[in-house]
Amino acid sequence: MQTETGKLMNGAEILLECLAREGVDCFFGYPGGVTLPFYDALVDSHIRHILVRHEENACFAAEGYARATGRVGVCCATSGPGATNLITGLVDSMMDSIPIVAITGQVHSKLIGSDAFQEADTFGITRPATKHNFMVKTLQELPKIVHEAFYIAASGRPGPVLVDIPKDIFQARGHYVPVDTIHLPGYKVFTEGHTGQIRRAAQLIWEAEKPFVYAGGGIVAAGASPELTELVEMADLPAVCTLMALGGLSSSHPNFISMPGMHGSYAANMGMTDCDLLIALGTRFDDRVTGQLQSFARHARVIHVDIDPAEIGKNRTPDIPIVGDVKRVLQKLNKVMQELEAEFKPKKAEARRKWWTQIRDWKEERPYDRSRAEGEIKPQHLMDEIDRLSGGQAIVTSDVGQHQMWAAQLIRFNEPRLWINSGGLGAMGFGLPSALGAQMARPDKLVFAICGDGGFQMSIPELATIASHALPVKIIVMNNGCLGMIRQWQELFYNNRLSSCELDSFPDAEKLAGAYGFKGRTIDKPWQLAQALEEAIKEPGPYLLNVRVRREENVYPMVPAGAGIHEMVFGPVVPVSV
Ligand SMILES: Cc1ncc(C[n+]2csc(CCOP(=O)(O)OP(=O)(O)O)c2C)c(N)n1
């Protein structure tokens, strides 16, 4: 039964009550005319509001919070430009399945449709950018909508949900009506997986001679790392984790191969190409992973587990489709695997031994490049040092570009939720604000924000937010003096005709950080690196370390766009035929 709680409140206070009941302890936003009643109510709330310096970063910070914890991240913006500034973050969380609730203010209900000051059709604009969106029309429906928004954001395949609230709803007075049950007839989540299909999958896994696990971000989202680890160990399976899944299986686990795809390792891509059974778990066969689809895992049968039925068969038709929560499905699969173990395991032992020998050979043949240089800092050297100091334990956020790929290749993540980056959308400017959100959520953790000199310059305003909360984020700029990934593509695929990729001006890091009241430094010599990073970590507050690296360095291996993932190149023009 629904009962009204005693106190008469306005809509803004009711919204805060909803947020408190959803366990929100902090959220990220920027005020404006129509959200002023909400910001007024905030004065008396225990929920922390983090004032970012741009709404896009409110959503990125909420994503950092959500990605680091698995909880719903919350952001808030005013109508018109505030709401439209959120769009990139919404699409980013949509592409990477991150649970976000975005609250936007809207002009007074009476003015909607009149081109009022700061009116935008937020509901219409954000429809394709969100998992779901709501426009609140009455105060009575506000609590129900807000609780439904949290439910939809976090359940099934997570994603962003936007709640647009006109100013008069914030101001109207009424009671908070508790919402005991969520009833959404049109929204069904299938979690359990089909028992018969799970049994067939278990049998196929034992019968395969060259099985290969392809783990995606769903493993992290579902909290399925223990189950994945159990599966991999029980059947001694080689496993790759996509860019979204790094840490889903510990990078230090002996069965972990690496990341696959465009900048994945030789062993990962050859394993995918040559396997006879691909076990795809919580993953969406993204083009950056599969390369040319016709040649992807061309000899393999495919088991595909995903909570989103729309992903099954989207890019590759599986032999065994299983719709369900990958954690629940793996729990059941592991059980059946155990039942079949004694009968099946010995049968393929010899074939499996050969498969592992092949994979180890690929690993040894072409490991990731970790070379160092005498006079210059190589990007790989920088990532190696961060890896050493993290020991697989630090939270590392990254921006988008070459540095992101080197970080993903070379830094270990021994747990899920340590590696935070914009995978699907590839949004530059993500690294710094997401680090801010992650550090807010996990004050106990060492947090590195690894940025390119391009992406960093997109997010400089958030240095103010970091400073004002004394967040001890270690901001590491991998400064190659250019838009490195653009330069790499222009060099390799446009005859080295460099066009608008130079970044010939960069602020003095010491002065820039100093202007915000914290420490910064620039280094450019290999012998300075270890000590400079250690000094940054020792500093109790934020630190900006600008690391000038070798400009000409390219990320390899690389699968040229449109090629099969076995057609990796390892240098400027020498394609390796395999
Ligand atoms: C918002 C946005 N604009 C443009 C791009 C296209 N883009 C991808 S990587 C890249 C270069 C990034 O340069 P930098 O931040 O210096 O990182 P680096 O590649 O040098 O490591 C660009 C422009 C993008 N991903 N996001």
Write out the E strands in 423-559: 447-452, 474-479, 519-523, 543-548
For range 444-473, the mean pLDDT:
98
Question: Dmax over Cα atoms in the chain, in whole Å?
Answer: 74
CA 477 / ligand 1 centre spacing (Å): 13
Confidence check: pLDDT of 4 > 70:
no
User: Measured from the CB, is residue 431 less than 6 Å from ligand 1?
Assistant: no
Between CA 424 and CA 305 the distance in angstroms is 19
Atom 17 of ligand 1 has which residue's CA nearest to it? 452
Between CA 487 and CA 23 the distance in angstroms is 45
Between CA 265 and CA 151 the distance in angstroms is 38
With b for 16 or more beta-carbon neighbours within 10 A and e for fewer, the 162-174 pattern comes to bbbbbbbbbbbeb
Confidence of residue 35 (pLDDT cuts 50, 70, 90): very high
Where on the phi/psi map is residue 236: left (φ > 0), alpha (ψ -120 to 50), or beta?
left
Q: Best of 57, 428, 486 to mutate for ligand 1, by most ligand atoms within 8 A of CB? A: 428
CA 400 / ligand 1 centre spacing (Å): 5
Q: Considering 2, 4, 110, 117, which one is annotated as catalytic?
A: 117
User: Measured from the CB, is residue 243 less than 6 Å from ligand 1?
Assistant: no
User: Measured from the CB, is residue 424 less than 6 Å from ligand 1?
Assistant: no
CA 290 / ligand 1 centre spacing (Å): 22
Which residue matches tokens 């507050």? 541
CA 485 / ligand 1 centre spacing (Å): 6
With b for 16 or more beta-carbon neighbours within 10 A and e for fewer, the 219-231 pattern comes to bbbbebbebbbbb
**Beta-ladder partners of 395:** 447
Confidence check: pLDDT of 2 > 70:
no
Between CA 130 and CA 453 the distance in angstroms is 30
CA 473 / ligand 1 centre spacing (Å): 21
User: Measured from the CB, is residue 402 less than 6 Å from ligand 1?
Assistant: yes
State both tokens at 496: 């080295």
Dihedral over alpha carbons 304, 305, 309, 310 (to 10 degrees): -50
The pLDDT value given to residue 455: 98
Confidence check: pLDDT of 443 > 50:
yes
Write out the E strands in 130-262: 132-135, 160-166, 173-175, 211-215, 239-241
For range 461-479, the mean pLDDT:
98
Kindly give the number of the ligand 1 atom that is closest to the alpha carbon of 455. 15
Kindly give the number of the ligand 1 atom that is closest to the alpha carbon of 451. 15
Confidence check: pLDDT of 305 > 90:
yes
The pLDDT value given to residue 155: 98
- Residue type present at position 386: I
Question: CB of 169 within 8 A of CB of 139?
Answer: yes
Confidence of residue 1 (pLDDT cuts 50, 70, 90): very low
Kindly give the number of the ligand 1 atom that is closest to the alpha carbon of 379. 21
Q: What is the pLDDT of residues 504-517, one digit of tens each?
A: 999 999 999 999 99
The overall average pLDDT reported for the chain is 96
State both tokens at 484: 């490195």
Nearest Cα residue to 477 out of 434, 510, 509, 437: 509
CA 399 / ligand 1 centre spacing (Å): 8
Between CA 374 and CA 395 the distance in angstroms is 29
Q: 256 — phi, psi (to 5°)?
A: -80, 125
CA 427 / ligand 1 centre spacing (Å): 8
| Cα angle 507, 509, 515; round to 5 | 90
Between CA 548 and CA 528 the distance in angstroms is 11
* Strand bridging mode 100-106 / 73-77: parallel
User: Measured from the CB, is residue 379 less than 6 Å from ligand 1?
Assistant: no
Q: Considering 22, 55, 227, 462, which one is annotated as catalytic?
A: 55
User: Measured from the CB, is residue 481 less than 6 Å from ligand 1?
Assistant: no
Kindly give the number of the ligand 1 atom that is closest to the alpha carbon of 429. 1
Active site residue 343: no
Question: CB of 337 within 8 A of CB of 234?
Answer: yes
Question: CB of 287 within 8 A of CB of 264?
Answer: no
Tell me what percent of the residues of the chain surpass a pLDDT of 90: 97
For range 528-533, the mean pLDDT:
98
User: Measured from the CB, is residue 542 less than 6 Å from ligand 1?
Assistant: no
Task: Kindly report the length of the chain.
Answer: 578
CA 321 / ligand 1 centre spacing (Å): 36
Q: What is the pLDDT of residues 37-75, one digit of tens each?
A: 999 999 999 999 999 999 999 999 999 999 999 999 999
Confidence check: pLDDT of 459 > 80:
yes
Confidence of residue 572 (pLDDT cuts 50, 70, 90): confident
Confidence of residue 260 (pLDDT cuts 50, 70, 90): very high
CA 504 / ligand 1 centre spacing (Å): 15
Question: CB of 75 within 8 A of CB of 104?
Answer: no
Could you tell me how far CA 311 lies from the centroid of its own chain?
18
Active site residue 118: yes
Active site residue 338: no
Active site residue 60: no
The pLDDT value given to residue 556: 97
Between CA 424 and CA 406 the distance in angstroms is 17
Residue 557: cis peptide before it, omega within 30 degrees of 0: yes
User: Measured from the CB, is residue 56 less than 6 Å from ligand 1?
Assistant: no
Residues 6+ apart with CB under 8 A from 188: none
**Beta-ladder partners of 475:** 449, 544
Q: What is the pLDDT of residues 159-169, one digit of tens each?
A: 999 999 999 99
The pLDDT value given to residue 578: 43
This prediction has a pTM of: 0.97
Confidence check: pLDDT of 467 > 50:
yes
Active site residue 140: no
Nearest Cα residue to 160 out of 168, 170, 150, 169: 150
User: Measured from the CB, is residue 480 less than 6 Å from ligand 1?
Assistant: yes
Q: Considering 38, 119, 148, 167, which one is annotated as catalytic?
A: 167
| Sheet (strand 48-51) strand order | 48-51, 26-29, 73-77, 100-106, 160-166, 132-135
Question: CB of 402 within 8 A of CB of 430?
Answer: no
User: Measured from the CB, is residue 432 less than 6 Å from ligand 1?
Assistant: no
For range 494-512, the mean pLDDT:
97
